[in-house]
Amino acid sequence: MAGINKVIIVGRLGNDPELRTMPNGDSVAKISVATSTEWTDKTSGEKKQATEWHSIIAFRNLADIIGKYLKKGSQVYVEGKLRTRKWQAQDGTDRWTTEIIADQLQMLGSSNSGNSNNNWATEPAGNPPPTNPYNHVMTDSESRDFDDDIRVRWITKEQAKQFINNISTDWMKTICSFALLTGARRTEILSMTWDKIDFIRKVAIVSNDIAKSEKARSLLLNDDAIELLQKQRGKNPKYVFVGSKGQALQDINRKIFNKATEKCLLVDFHFHDLRHTWASWHVQAGTPLFTLKELGGWETLEMVKKYAHLNADHLLNHANSVKF
């Protein structure tokens, strides 16, 4: 007998919804909903409470409604299914994250509460969520976040300069600058060692245990990247990018990163968007998509087509073929 996969959650949003758009145009929304359990301690007689957080993902129609009507503190009733996805920590171990894929949602306590039918939203039957809107295995330890490869968020060169200037520590400035210069992923940067860098050939080798595709690749280094790496010499005998005291790093400093984005008024901008920015600049400069695929280490051309709209010059001649 097949098991039943059914979840019902009633709670409040801990933050505003996170909204994304997949390459095919489908909307995706992620919300964190808190539920509370109360009980009386048998020994002390005191009332106690425990709060649990649940990660809920919605697609298409539900995602659009969530983005339009819900905000931090909104109370919701959600029906959905559990889905577990696999990701990979920086140490190479496999981890799993369980999320709720929403099928139905009701907004509680809204101005329409007198007519509960108006507060219901349902994903149309026969329109299942994508089987894998994320990469199957994630090397990025931010497993709670959406896979940034389903969205494109980039900034201009002027915004990038302002962002770098507003980073409060030199070591974070260096890491973010290198990401903008090379398109390297966070884990590729933090795990980079001196024995993997060839200054003569101007490449850094990303080994298969670090590469997202699990295939070794060459990270090409332009002159500015080489100059940046030269300044890192002598700070640590093994690791290229280190903290203020020369120590190896497990992660970037997110508070420093977010503070810099706030000063620059950059909304919904994450570290992986530095890679998107690098790729976007390449496309705007005329770099062919196939070349960009090789430079960025993407496995397929489909993965870089999301940048194609940034350079539509090749379509202009065809657009001018029809006139009224």
Tens digit of pLDDT for each residue in 240-260? 999 999 999 988 998 999 999
The answer as to whether 324 is a domain residue is: no
The pLDDT value recorded for residue 114 is 40
Same domain, yes or no: 266 and 302: yes
Residue type, 21: T
Contacting residues for 272 by C-beta, under 8 A, at least 6 apart: 140, 148, 185, 186
Residues with catalytic roles: 185, 212, 272, 275, 298, 307
80 and 23 belong to one structural domain: yes
Q: Is 150 a member of any domain?
A: no
CA distance 184 to 190: 10
Verify that 161 and 309 share a domain, yes or no: yes
| Same domain? 138 vs 161 | no
Residue 37 or residue 231, greater confidence: 231
Q: Confirm whether 43 is domain-assigned.
A: no
**SS3 state at 25:** coil
Q: What is the number of domains present in the chain?
A: 2
Beta-carbon contacts of 8 under 8 Å, excluding residues fewer than 6 positions away, are 77, 78, 79
Give per-residue pLDDT as tens, 48-61.
888 888 999 998 88
CA distance 4 to 116: 27
- The total of other beta-carbon atoms located within 10 Å of residue 209's CB is 11
**pLDDT at residue 46 in the model:** 85
**What is the per-residue pLDDT for 207?**
80
Q: Is residue 267 part of a domain?
A: yes
Please give the DSSP secondary-structure letter assigned to residue 242. B
Domain membership of residue 119 as a residue range: 7-38+49-144
pLDDT in tens, 5-47: 889 999 999 888 988 877 667 788 899 998 888 888 888 888 8
Last residue of a domain, one of 113, 144, 175: 144
Burial of 105 (0-12, 13-18, 19+ CB in 10 A): buried
Position 321 in a domain: no
> What pLDDT shows up at residue 316?
60
Which of 144, 175, 206 is the endpoint of a domain?
144
Is 322 strand, coil or helix? coil
In this structure, the answer to whether residues 225 and 277 fall within a common structural domain is: yes
- Angle, CA 211 vertex, CA 194 and CA 185 arms, to 5°: 75
Same structural domain for residues 91 and 161?
Answer: no
- Are 274 and 203 members of one domain? yes
Residues 184 and 103 in one domain: no
- Residues 18, 119: one domain? yes
Nearest to 58 by CA among 81, 85, 24, 86: 81
Say what the pTM is.
0.54
Within this chain, do residues 140 and 165 fall inside the same structural domain, yes or no? no
Residues 114 and 203 in one domain: no
Where a domain ends, among 96, 119, 144?
144
Say if 1 falls within a structural domain. no
* pLDDT tens by residue, 170-212: 999 999 999 999 999 998 999 999 999 999 999 999 886 665 5
CA distances, 17 to each of 68, 73, 98, 224, 266 (Å): 10, 11, 18, 38, 17
The verdict on 80 and 33 lying in the same domain is: yes
| Beta-carbon count within 10 A of 153 CB | 17
Q: Tell whether 44 is covered by a domain.
A: no
- Return the exposure string of 48-86: e unless at least 16 CB atoms fall within 10 Å of the residue's CB, then b: eeeeeebebbbbbebbbbbbebbeeebebbbebeeeebe
Q: What is the CATH number of the domain that holds 133?
A: 2.40.50.140
Per residue in 264-322, pLDDT tens? 988 878 898 999 999 999 988 889 889 999 999 887 887 787 777 666 655 566 666 66
Is 147 a residue whose pLDDT tops 50? no
Any domain includes 260: yes
pLDDT the model gives residue 24: 66
Angle (CA) 200-176-246 rounded to 5° is 75
Q: Which residue, among 157, 167, 189, 146, has the nearest Cα to 254 in the 3D structure?
A: 167
